[in-house]
Amino acid sequence: MFKREITLKGTVIEYSGSDTKVERINCTDRIEEELILQVLCVGNPHNPDVRYSFNIPIEEHREQFLWDPSGSWLECSRMCQGERRRKAVCFRQSDHLEVSDQRCEHLPRPVAVTEPCNADCEVRWHTAGKSECSAKCGPGYRSLDIQCMKYSLLQRESERVEASACAEIPKPHAREPCHGDCLLKSWQYSNWSQCSKTCGRGSRSRESYCMNNLGRRLADRECSEFQRLVTETCNDLPCPQWTVNEWSECLVTCGKGMKHRLVTCVGGGEEKLSEQYWRPTEHCCCVCDQLL
């Protein structure tokens, strides 16, 4: 049987025909009377696998949609000392089914249900540090390290958070005026230590202290811009020493006699050498044999 349309009981039934793999019967209009459908199987008897679907008409009355202000809670508006509200949802009055908000667009939205949230903390700007004054003496400026801090009201703890958490709070200026104290700073020294050598270039040292002109000791870094002298050379003169000439000939030609040589102190007085160095002898005995 070919494709055809059948008018029956006030409606039109469409038949796809029997020459298709799947035969379909479709009716889009409302059927006012009972309709009996029979399937004729010819040849190999098998389950015809009949499938069907139908729609039940909605009642003629107009559905009512309303706002429900007690939906789920939304997120807190702030990290601390914020407010949260319930989401208003649109529902069908007949079965309380939640539907799209578009169904309730023509209705005024209800007053939002709200409550405080994150009330156990607060955020505020905190000055974490200050730079040194730009002027050593007189008026100047210094930079401030301004950070957003979260303070726990119960645990008395604090932590640094993103600056955006303090966006609703006026931020202090990151620079403020200052006045240099006009104090002069310099290195002060202890007495020199003894020289490491009495002659021949030694060295000596001393302690250094960074002080201001009021006599207050400061950290060494406060005087880092000034040169510091804590070691120096001392006793640069060469050390004195004895020099001797060759021995003279013996004063006698035979028997026991004397000979001598010249002893000289070079580089210092004899009195200085006599304490530390042995003075070479200037005279000595000599014995000569008599020639026959």
Q: Which domain holds residue 5?
A: 1-57
**According to the model, what pLDDT value does residue 32 have?**
67
In this structure, are strands 25-26 and 82-85 parallel, antiparallel, or unpaired? Answer: unpaired
pTM over 0.75: no
**According to the model, what pLDDT value does residue 95 have?**
87
Quickly state the pLDDT bin for 79 (edges 50, 70, 90). very high
Q: Among residues 12, 29, 57, which one ends one of the domains?
A: 57
**According to the model, what pLDDT value does residue 20 have?**
77
In this structure, are strands 175-181 and 158-160 parallel, antiparallel, or unpaired? Answer: unpaired
Residue 204 has pLDDT above 90, yes or no: yes
Q: Which of 6, 74, 22 is nearest to 14 (CA)?
A: 6
Residues with Cβ within 8 Å of 148's Cβ and at least 6 positions away in sequence, in order, are: 123, 124, 125, 126, 160, 161, 162, 163, 164, 165, 166
pLDDT, one tens digit per residue, over 8-56 is 777 788 888 877 778 888 887 777 677 777 777 777 667 777 888 877 6
User: What is the rounded distance in angstroms from the CA atom of residue 56 to the CA atom of residue 13?
Assistant: 18
95-116 burial, b at 16+ Cβ within 10 Å, e below that, comes to eeeeeeeebbeeeeeeeeeeee
pLDDT, one tens digit per residue, over 103-126 is 898 899 999 999 999 999 999 999
Question: 127 and 105, same structural domain?
Answer: no
Of 9-13, 188-192, 193-197, 218-222, minimum mean pLDDT range:
9-13
Question: 110 and 70, same structural domain?
Answer: yes
User: What is the rounded distance in angstroms from the CA atom of residue 290 to the CA atom of residue 264?
Assistant: 34
Contact 14, 5 (CB under 8 A): yes
Question: 205 and 168, same structural domain?
Answer: no
More confident residue, 236 or 177: 177
Q: Helix, strand, or coil here: 266?
A: strand
Q: Helix, strand, or coil here: 91?
A: strand
Q: Which helix (H) or strand (E) holds 274?
A: helix 270-276
| Tally of structural domains, the chain | 5
Q: Among residues 181, 205, 221, which one ends one of the domains?
A: 181
Question: 141 and 98, same structural domain?
Answer: no
Number of helical H runs and strand E runs in the chain? 1, 21
Question: 268 and 247, same structural domain?
Answer: yes
